[in-house]
Amino acid sequence: MHKQKKYLLWLIITLLVSTFHRPGFAQDVSTSGGEIIIVHPANPTKTLTLNQARTIFSMRARQWPNGTPITVVVLNDQSPIHKAFLRNVLRILPHQLRRNWDRYIYAGIGQGPMVVDDPLEMIEMVEKIPGAIGYIEKGVPHEQVLTLTIR
């Protein structure tokens, strides 16, 4: 019993310390004007719920309602735009997405997303691949693709 109290004390101390610490790593991403979801120009889906968007980017759903296979396009994990998109639009922790992808990739029970190097390549891929979905920062020209809103 005494031991358990000791652990509890340590837990409380660490939690207290953390509240006075600088903002968390999840917060320290630079955000310009926000991020938007883009899809292939032929995609008839105009809106998604937040949870549907999370399901798609987590790679759990494999097809659009019309049967077109979903291709998720993302920037690399370290990209500030990627982090900002997860934080501001999907509102999830980056490692949660990565953990799900890793299980699919390394246990063979799914697939990971397509990773591109920069926003221009992102737009190019989303334009080219039917069923593709990605994201860009607001203000980046994107006439070739459609945007999709979270309702």
Partner 1 sequence: MNRFLPLRFASRRSWNHDQRQRRAGGSALEQIPRYAAIIAVLLTTNVHANDSDQSSLSDTINWHGFLSQGFTYTDENNFLGSSSDGSFKFNEAGLNASWRANNQLQFSAQALYKQIGNAEPKGIQLDHAIADWRVIDTFDFGAGLRAGRLKNPYGFYNETRDTAATRPSILLPESIYIDYLRAVLHSSDSVGIYGHQELKTGTLSFSAVYGKPILNDQIISVLINTYPGVPTRGDIRDELAKAYRLDYEDASGQWRSAISYIIFDGNFTPGTGEPYSAGNIRNEQLLFSAELNWQDWQLVGEYQIRETENNGILAVDFNKKGTGYYVQLGYHFTSALKGYFRKDTVFLDDSDKSGKKLELESGGAFFARDAFAKDYTLGLAYQPSFEWSFGIELHHVNGTFWLPDLENPDVINQEKRWNMLLLQAAYRF
CB 145 within 8 A of CB 123: yes
- Kindly give, in sequence order, each residue whose CB lies less than 8 Å from that of residue 87, ignoring residues fewer than 6 positions away: 26, 27, 29, 31, 94
- Total residues contacting partner 1 by CB under 8 A comes to 57
Examine residue 6 and tell whether it contacts partner 1 (CB under 8 A): no
Residues in the chain: 151
Question: How many CB atoms neighbour CB 140 within 10 A?
Answer: 16
Q: Does 110 bind partner 1 (CB under 8 A)?
A: yes
Are the beta carbons of 35 and 84 closer than 8 angstroms?
A: yes
Nearest CB to partner 1, comparing residues 3 and 143: 3
52 binds partner 1 (CB under 8 A): yes
Interface contacts to partner 1, rule CB under 8 A: 11, 14-15, 18, 21, 24-26, 28, 48, 50-52, 54-56, 58, 60-63, 65, 67, 69, 71, 76-78, 83, 91-99, 102-103, 105-117, 125, 128-130
